[in-house]
Structure 1
Amino acid sequence: MALWRIRATVDDRPGYLSVLTASLALRGVNILTVQVHTTEVGAVDDFLVDAPEQLTEADLRAAVERGRGRDCWVARSEARGLADQPTRVLGLATRLARDPEAAGEALRALLGADTVTWRPAPAGQLGGVGAHTMLLADPSGGWYELRRGEPTFTPAEYARAQALVELAAAVARRDADRATLVLPDSAEVLVRPATEDDLPGVVRLHEICSDRSRQRRYLGGSALPSPVRLRRLLEPARGLTLVAMPGSGGEAEAVVAMANLVGEGDEAEVALLVRDDWQRRGLGSALLRRLLGHADRAGYAAVLLHVAAANTPMLRTVRRLGRPTSVQRDGEVLAVTVPLDATALRADVPRPAGVTVPTRRSY
């Protein structure tokens, strides 16, 4: 017996697939796996079969045509083809989770493409699929061009490939926000994106912080935020939350700082909470710079900070950024805007008369 891959299009009507499988069965062909790709011209059936040694490619093609199949493609397969498609995709996803730079190789393995080429282009480039060419938009910017002679691409393959590219981009963004920082006093701090598993450590951070530190962070009082509110902050719908832990890592209870970036429209609001014994050591400045870098990559026009006018350390941290800023006062609260692109407000350009101070959001 020999392993073969067979792909053919049949009319998407009741009973037509059974006619094709019966034609193969009459010649002793055992179907091991089958995938169905729905297209505008019919159902594209992709088989992995075990056929008698004496059957040739021409014999299998003839059997498909007698079973009402058309646009037939037949090729010898290897034992690795016995792994079903979901298993193969999960394996490739695991590989990308470890190495997002391997996206091109993963696409080639997923689709058996003849060539995979990455080309620079603005983010948001529209993709598409043709018979022998596939364009996949890379969320990080640019796009992948895949080419394959036979068999032709299907919309289902395009959807799988695009999902794989988006996974690689998401992992790359996560890795870009993870680093071990060395503070001016030589202390090492691991900074990484937060997850809901960090909730116990973040709750403990709030318990240890002084009333003054919590009041400066939330502006509305020093009471402990509820676990529900903190859970929302750890994984915002739009934005990023970073947590910092001493050394090269540790248990969630070791969280010594939390930095939040929450997006709304073309702006993102930033807030920091640093444990009292870790303040004045450069950690707040390092976290703020990393959030600004993330906001820049995400395409926000500006970052907004609401700071108590009496919070001199935080205002000093903002000045250390070395970026132009615009400051507006609303009672005892300052709204500090840090532009991230040329269209955002510059510090040396006054706001037109009547422009209101940005509303302080409660998060």
Structure 2
Amino acid sequence: MDDVRDLAVIRRAVASDLDAVNDMHARCSAETRRARYHGQRDRIRAVEWAALHDPRYGFSALVTVQNHTVGLVNVIGAGPETLWEAGLLIEDSWQGRGLGTRAAAYLVWEARASGACGIEALVESDNARGKRVFSRLGAEWFREEPGVLTARIRFSVPAAVGSDRSPSRPPMGACR
């Protein structure tokens, strides 16, 4: 059989994807959803979805295999030259196949291209898969509250967004 990563497609989410996203949430175990949301959640409400895929606030992307939604990544940004908050959810039966790492790499690439100077993700300290995904992408780890780690990946602001600043160094005061 082909490597599932070769069959997977990652694409920007649109308003009409909400039902597919919520169907995927229903197929995820309570443990997987807790690891993503740090609490019990079984769906995304329409008002939340409107913000999660609105390009003014960041973006969401779906991971699909043969047009079947198996994952969701999103990042919420406060604007260029700031750290953006990232999230990742892969359906249980598709975990352990490299889709989470591929989706997180896409998230990093898109956030960098959108002008963020880095991303942060909250990962529960017992979430081995989440820690592995962000470690593979070079995250620095910080413990900011009991049982929860912050994965931080910093990158330079693109020249087009950073105006006359060097693209290899974020502006002073950014990415605190």
Corresponding residue for residue 227 of structure 1: 46
Change (3 A) 1:314 1:218: same
Corresponding residue for residue 285 of structure 1: 101
Corresponding residue for residue 258 of structure 1: 72
Corresponding residue for residue 331 of structure 1: 146
Partner Cα separation in structure 2 for residue 243 and residue 324 of structure 1: 22
1:217 alignment partner, one of 8, 13, 36: 36
What amino acid is aligned across from residue 69 of structure 2 in structure 1?
Answer: V
Change (3 A) 1:307 1:290: same
Change (3 A) 1:198 1:186: closer
Query: Within the alignment, does 1:299 sit opposite 2:118 as a pair?
Result: no
Q: Deviations over 1:169-199 (max 9, x none)?
A: xxxxxxxxxxxxxx85565012110000111
Counterparts of residues 101-112 of structure 1 (less than 5 Å): none
Query: Within the alignment, does 1:190 sit opposite 2:4 as a pair?
Result: no
Change (3 A) 1:256 1:324: closer
Structure 1 residue 237: Cα displacement = 2.8
2:64 alignment partner, one of 225, 245, 259: 245
Kept after mapping to 2: 8 A contact 1:236/1:262: no
1:319 alignment partner, one of 124, 135, 140: 135
Q: Deviations over 1:140-185 (max 9, x none)?
A: xxxxxxxxxxxxxxxxxxxxxxxxxxxxxxxxxxxxxxxxxxx855
Kept after mapping to 2: 8 A contact 1:308/1:334: yes
Partner Cα separation in structure 2 for residue 302 and residue 186 of structure 1: 25
Kept after mapping to 1: 8 A contact 2:121/2:152: yes
Match of 2:77, SS state, is strand
Counterparts of residues 1-363 of structure 1 (less than 5 Å): 184-185=3-4, 187-247=6-66, 250=67, 254-265=68-79, 266-321=82-137, 323=138, 325-341=140-156, 343=169
**TM-score, normalized by length of structure 2?**
0.80
Structure 1 residue 206: Cα displacement = 0.8
Structure 1 residue 226: Cα displacement = 2.5
Match of 2:72, SS state, is strand
Kept after mapping to 2: 8 A contact 1:301/1:343: no
Partner Cα separation in structure 2 for residue 324 and residue 257 of structure 1: 21
Determine which structure has more spread, i.e. the larger CA radius of gyration. Answer: 1
Question: Which deviates the most, 237-246 or 279-288?
Answer: 237-246
Structure 1 residue 221: Cα displacement = 2.2
Identity of aligned residues (%): 25
Partner Cα separation in structure 2 for residue 223 and residue 202 of structure 1: 11
What amino acid is aligned across from residue 256 of structure 1 in structure 2?
Answer: V
Partner Cα separation in structure 1 for residue 5 and residue 105 of structure 2: 18
Partner Cα separation in structure 2 for residue 293 and residue 240 of structure 1: 12
Change (3 A) 1:328 1:196: same
Q: Deviations over 1:237-266 (max 9, x none)?
A: 32111101113xx3xxx2111100110241
What amino acid is aligned across from residue 287 of structure 1 in structure 2?
Answer: A
What amino acid is aligned across from residue 298 of structure 1 in structure 2?
Answer: S
Match of 2:60, SS state, is strand
Kept after mapping to 1: 8 A contact 2:5/2:98: no
Partner Cα separation in structure 1 for residue 99 and residue 5 of structure 2: 11
Partner Cα separation in structure 2 for residue 230 and residue 220 of structure 1: 18
How many residues were matched structurally?
Answer: 157
Give the aligned CA root-mean-square deviation in angstroms.
Answer: 2.1
Partner Cα separation in structure 1 for residue 110 and residue 5 of structure 2: 25
Kept after mapping to 2: 8 A contact 1:212/1:222: no
Corresponding residue for residue 162 of structure 2: none
What amino acid is aligned across from residue 221 of structure 1 in structure 2?
Answer: Q
Unaligned runs of 5+ in 2: 157-167, 171-175
